[in-house]
Amino acid sequence: MQSICFVLLLLLVELAVGESDIDALLELKKGIQTDTSGKVLATWDSNSLAADGCPKGWRNPSGFGSMKLLKYLDLHSNGFVGDVMGLLAQLGDVAYVDLSCNGFSGSLDLGIGNPIYFFKVFDASDNHFVGNVPSFSFVVSLRVIKLRNNQLSGSLPQGLLQESSMILSELDLSHNQLEGPVESISSVNLRKLNLSSNRLSGPLPARIGHCTVIDLSNNTFTGNLSRTQSWGNYVEVIELSSNELTGSLPNQTCQFLRLTSLRISNNLLEGILPHVLGTYPELEVIDLSHNKLSGFLLPSLFNSTKLTDINLSWNNLSGTIPADAITRQNYSLLSLNLSHNVFTGPLPPELGRFQGIVYLDLSNLLEGGNPNDLPNTMTGFNVSYNNLSGVVPQGLQKFPPSSFHPGNDLLVLPNEAPSPKGGNNLNLRDHGSRTKSASRAALIAGVVGGVSVIAILTFVIYVRVHREGSKATSTETGGKKVLSSSEIESGNQPPTVSSVVPTPKDRDHPESTRKLDVLNTPPAKLRHQSENPSALKVCSPDKLAGDLHLFDSSLKFTPEELSSAPAEAIGMSCHGTLYKAVLSSGHVLAVKLLKEGIAKGRKEFAREAKKLGNIRHPNLVSLQGFYWGPKEHEKLIISKYINAPSLALYLHGTDQGALPPLSLADRLKVALDVACCLTYLHTESAIPHGNLKSTNILIEVPNINVLLTDYSLHRLLTSAGTAEQVLNAGALGYLPPEFTSTSKPCPSLKSDVYAFGVILLELLTGRSSADIVPGTPEVVDLSEWVSLMAAENRAVECFDLQILGTESSESLPKGLDSMLQIALKCILPAAERPDMKMIFEELSAIQL
């Protein structure tokens, strides 16, 4: 009977139970003559099935403790919950345990003396375990420990890294809450170490033993990078991004002969690129972006036959791109990002020799024309903020205008709507370039004309309001004129950013339009920050008022300029109110005023905001900075303003007639762009978007360029703020079902997949995610309705008539059913959902 129970157990923990599996279980039931418990087989009834076809109410066979010969236990990717450690302690000789991707909780107290001495692999990743990490010192046979993505805290057990009787070869404790230092690693067996996305601090370990892969990214390590010089010649992958490391890159030729990937982005590194960087024989990936590196570009980087990805963006590198170094066809390099440096000179036509390149970003101060021979397989291209001229080659015209502007006033982009010279150029980067007088005159003329029209309208509105008895008054505060609410309502003067933050009195009357001082100080002095010029202080004569931090080096303004910028409220969300602010320079910003009490503490907020600000993707509206005021209600998030309608407006807005309808090809393009961006967030940054909805997807025409906004803001919020965001997602129909059984739901990679599935359903049906379809009282949102219709083979009734056209249900447009099947996969229970990378690959394979 024990062997039968074990067979049944393995059947029940399969990832998905389809119709054939149900039949197999029922056939197996026929062959079992005795149920010793009398409670299991009686529940195995073909009529007891859930809506998705899975067993409902079927009891599992028990008896783990009696399986003394069990060697291999795999429970991964199910929906199991509760405390499992006591159950494991009953097992005898089990060697392989995989509990990953479930909802197990409690501590990882293995208990000394229990028969888990024989564990070789222990994987409890992606659960809800809490408490300290066990030392595992008594499990001498353990080779692999994976505990990533839990809520483990405390310090790192240093014994796991030291030479001992353990034969541990892989340790993954990433995405937890571990604190403290990491000492030198003396283990000769440890090969893979992943401690990323914790709260570890202190200097880098002086030695890493025989590790081939070491990932310490997304922590708060400090000190000089020179400690890596003693890391030996075994290391193949070094991940140190998003820390606070200083110093320069090592220049020792004897090191890193096996190195394949070097990522040290988002730190405080200085100095030049060492010559040895281009000589590592196996190096494939270099990411040194978002540092303070200077000097010239190494010609040897372009001669490597191994390098596939070079990212040196957001530094202070200068000089020209060495065209003479590109001497032959290069098929290995796939991605080259040199943007946001100070490279000058011509854009070399030799770049066309990179025949394998997929992504190219050269946003600097380059001149000349665009290369003609770049491969047609490129999916990402950006040369904005340069001074290029001539006609854009045919092969590059598929990219949106944002790939060429701002900047490049003399560049001719066919089919682009004409605009005044410099009208789109909001380049604020201070690289010594001079403002052209003609552009300035045109800008002034435009502003004067606009102000004249506004003044006339303002006067008319003011007279009408004044006749109704609303007398405008004004007071003087700190030398600045402060308008009353009636003045703002009458349009006498547009409100400024300094007017949008409520005082306690006004927060009691949210329905009124307010004019209050966000910084609450007189005109500020600008304190020079020699160590961090991007951190600007708002200072009154007697006290420090607040901090403005900018992550985008192309953005230059002071807190006082932001305070006086005209601001227009353009939206509200669970996070706060969104404003469009126009700086005196002409740069247009989206400024989000966070609700009071939802932001994390200052230090943690700043650290997380910096991480988010360093994420760049062509389909992402990146965070450009934030303002932290001295009062609770003075928290601003700053990003680029995008003048484009959202997907929600295209699909179910009140004025859809003003927007062109989206064809099926357009909708697939939207889905692909969103999936591409989410895949990047999930795989490169390992963070969810967390707030995916159709209103946060902007569409730039005419090329249907998709941009995602409001990404990962939950990382800036308190638990209460995150809970409010989750509740909002539920009200809008984007909440995954597993969140309803979790006391403290938090955005995850799986919840992103669910929300993406809902977005796909919106694209296919044209309906809102929260739509309740008339005549279907048993469903509460769009996902339930489509699932029900698909189960009844009536999916064709769900599709938007705009994409069906006049075709009959027997001849659906090609690719439509494939998109629906992918959407239905995304809204499956969490354990059965594919990851975004798989979804993106499946969408990319669809041919229309």
- Asked whether residue 570 carries a pLDDT value surpassing 50, the answer given is yes
Least confident span in 206-210, 294-298, 478-482:
478-482
Q: Give which of 620, 551, 52, 644 is closest to 340, Cα–Cα.
A: 551
pLDDT class for 831, splitting at 50, 70, 90? confident
Work out the average pLDDT over 728-754: 84
Instruction: Calculate Rg over the CA atoms of the chain.
Output: 30
| 533 phi and psi angles, rounded to 5 deg | -65, -15
* 711 vs 418, more confident: 711
- Asked whether residue 34 carries a pLDDT value surpassing 90, the answer given is no
Per-residue pLDDT, 827: 94
Report helix, strand or coil for 409: coil
Report helix, strand or coil for 686: coil
Per-residue pLDDT, 117: 58
Query: How far is it, in rounded angstroms, from Cα 425 to Cα 529?
Result: 28
pLDDT class for 725, splitting at 50, 70, 90? confident
Work out the average pLDDT over 362-388: 88
Work out the average pLDDT over 491-495: 45
Q: DSSP characters for 479-540?
A: TEEEE-HHHHHTTSS--BGGGSSPPHHHHT-TTS-----SS-SSSPEEE--SS-TTEEEEE-
Least confident span in 50-59, 252-261, 723-732, 823-832:
50-59
State the sign of the Cα–Cα–Cα–Cα dihedral 195, 197, 199, 202: positive
Per-residue pLDDT, 546: 65
Q: What is the dihedral of CA 667, 672, 677, 683, to 10 degrees?
A: 150
pLDDT class for 60, splitting at 50, 70, 90? low
How many Cα atoms occupy the beta-carbon half-sphere of 473 within 13 Å?
Answer: 4
- Asked whether residue 513 carries a pLDDT value surpassing 60, the answer given is no
Query: How far is it, in rounded angstroms, from Cα 674 to Cα 682?
Result: 12
Least confident span in 224-228, 493-497, 502-506, 537-541:
537-541
- Asked whether residue 20 carries a pLDDT value surpassing 80, the answer given is no
Work out the average pLDDT over 828-845: 91
Per-residue pLDDT, 842: 93
Work out the average pLDDT over 127-137: 88
- Asked whether residue 549 carries a pLDDT value surpassing 60, the answer given is yes
- Asked whether residue 541 carries a pLDDT value surpassing 50, the answer given is no
Per-residue pLDDT, 162: 85
Edge to edge, the sheet with strand 128-131 lists: 81-82, 103-107, 128-131, 151-155, 177-180, 199-202, 220-221
Per-residue pLDDT, 246: 93
Per-residue pLDDT, 124: 94
For 194-205, what is each residue's pLDDT tens digit?
999 899 999 999
Q: DSSP characters for 179-225?
A: EE----B--SS--EEE--SSEEEESPPS-BTT-SEEE--SSEE-SBG
Per-residue pLDDT, 163: 80
Query: How far is it, in rounded angstroms, from Cα 780 to Cα 771?
Result: 8
For 593-624, what is each residue's pLDDT tens digit?
998 888 888 888 888 888 888 888 889 999 99
For 661-698, what is each residue's pLDDT tens digit?
899 999 999 999 999 999 999 988 888 999 999 999 99
Work out the average pLDDT over 52-62: 61
Q: DSSP characters for 238-291?
A: EE--SS--BS-----TTS-TT--EEE--SS---SBPPGGGGT-TT--EEE--SS
Please state at what angle helix 749-765 crosses helix 664-680, rounded to 10 degrees. Answer: 170
What mean pLDDT value characterizes the chain?
A: 77
For 147-188, what is each residue's pLDDT tens digit?
998 989 999 998 889 887 578 999 999 999 999 999 899 998
- Asked whether residue 279 carries a pLDDT value surpassing 70, the answer given is yes
pLDDT class for 454, splitting at 50, 70, 90? very low
- If one counts every other C-beta atom within 10 angstroms of the C-beta of residue 698, the result is 19
- If one counts every other C-beta atom within 10 angstroms of the C-beta of residue 607, the result is 19
pLDDT class for 293, splitting at 50, 70, 90? very high
Per-residue pLDDT, 449: 45
Q: Kindly state the DSSP code that residue 132 receives in the 8-state scheme.
A: P
Work out the average pLDDT over 779-801: 86
For 61-79, what is each residue's pLDDT tens digit?
555 556 667 888 888 887 7
Per-residue pLDDT, 416: 60
Per-residue pLDDT, 273: 93
Per-residue pLDDT, 250: 84
- Asked whether residue 461 carries a pLDDT value surpassing 80, the answer given is no
Per-residue pLDDT, 657: 64
Q: DSSP characters for 797-845?
A: GGS-HHHHTT--GGGPPTTHHHHHHHHHHHTS-GGGPPPHHHHHHHHHT
Percent of the chain with pLDDT over 90: 33
Per-residue pLDDT, 67: 66
Edge to edge, the sheet with strand 367-368 lists: 367-368, 387-391, 410-412
Per-residue pLDDT, 33: 65
Per-residue pLDDT, 399: 87
* Number of residues in the chain: 848
Report helix, strand or coil for 52: coil
Work out the average pLDDT over 288-300: 91
- If one counts every other C-beta atom within 10 angstroms of the C-beta of residue 696, the result is 21
Q: Which two tokens stand for residue 550?
A: 């900018």
Report helix, strand or coil for 581: strand
Domains of the chain: 63-217 (3.80.10.10), 495-640 (3.30.200.20), 647-844 (1.10.510.10)
Per-residue pLDDT, 520: 34
Name the region of 126 (left: φ>0; alpha: ψ -120 to 50; beta: rest). left
